[in-house]
Amino acid sequence: MPRHEKQRPGVGTRSAIAAAAARLMAEDGISDYYQAKKKAARHLGLGEHVAFPDNAEVEAELRAYRSLYQGEEHAELLAAMRHTALELLDLLAAFNPYLTGSVLDGTAGEHSHIDILLFADSAKEVEIFLLNRGIDVTHAEPRSDKVEAVLQIETDTADASLIILAPHMERVSLKHRDGRVRARIRAAELRLALNE
CA proximity to 150, closest of 165, 140, 135, 137: 140
**Domain membership flag for residue 1:** no
Could you give phi then psi for residue 161, rounded to 5 degrees? -105, 120
**Do 85 and 116 meet the contact criterion of CB atoms below 8 Å apart?**
yes
> For residue 85, what pLDDT is reported?
97
Number of domains composing the chain: 2
Rounded to whole angstroms, the Cα distance separating 188 from 101 reads 17
Domain span holding position 29: 11-69
Same structural domain, 16 and 87: no
The list of the chain residues with pLDDT below 70 reads 1-11, 48, 176-178
Which residues face 162 on adjacent strands?
116, 151
**Domain membership flag for residue 5:** no
Which residues face 154 on adjacent strands?
none
Phi-psi region at 45: left, alpha or beta (left = phi > 0; alpha = psi -120 to 50): left
Last residue of a domain, one of 44, 69, 94: 69
Phi-psi region at 46: left, alpha or beta (left = phi > 0; alpha = psi -120 to 50): beta
> For residue 58, what pLDDT is reported?
87
Whole-prediction pTM: 0.76
